[in-house]
Amino acid sequence: MPRKVDHQERRELLANALMNLAAARGLEGVSLRHVATEAGVSTGMVQHYFRTKDEMMTFALGMVMDRIRERSQAAAVPNSPRELVRALLLQVLPLDEPRRLENHVVLAFLAYAAVKPSIASGLREDAAAMRTFLADQLRAAGADRADPERAAAGLLALVDGLGMQLLSQQYAEQDAVAALDAQLTLLFDRP
């Protein structure tokens, strides 16, 4: 009897190989052949699941975003909108090895998207969804010190900047978390 193939599992195997390569050397020099070698499969198998590198990259980025959502939902104690926001943003910061890998991958995707606009659409959609979620939480908390849309954009910019500082070892992890908490206090806590 033929063995049943889990196509999603294979796609994830290939996407993980792409992410490892992207974190190690960026995306520009990565080819389908490199991904096949990293995953220990044939180039033909890679091409069976992904016609192009861009298609594989889009799938891999979606996996990263799904992992962040899953971790933040598991970590969130739904006590308050502030705690939901904090849980989500902590999952974006590179505070452990899986999140460092994801941050390297997202940075590689951002650099690649700057020269390949077709890739940027997925990034825009994910960022817009995150901004909307953050703004909704700010509204739900009655955080009226700032425009919720702008405050949400600012939170994402802060976390992006803190992430780069952590990856380049300019900040200690506890300092990055303290900076995030200080901003959340400014936005959520009433005077």
Count of C-beta atoms within a 10 Å radius of residue 152 = 23
Question: Domains, the chain, ranges and CATH?
Answer: 7-188 (1.10.357.10)
* pLDDT tens digits, one per residue of 153-174: 999 999 999 999 999 999 999 9
- Residue 107 in tokens: 């940075």
pLDDT given for residue 104 in this prediction: 86
**pTM (two decimals):** 0.80
DSSP state string for 28-94: TT--HHHHHHHHTS-HHHHHHH-SSHHHHHHHHHHHHHHHHHHHHHHH--TT-HHHHHHHHHHHHS-
pLDDT given for residue 1 in this prediction: 58
Distance of CA 29 to the CA centre of its chain: 21
CA-CA distance, 163 to 176, in Å (whole number)? 8
pLDDT given for residue 73 in this prediction: 74
* Residues written for the chain: 191
Regions of the chain with pLDDT less than 50: none
Between the alpha carbon of residue 75 and those of residues 25, 64, 87, 88, 101, the distances in Å are: 31, 16, 6, 8, 19
CB 30 within 8 A of CB 115: no
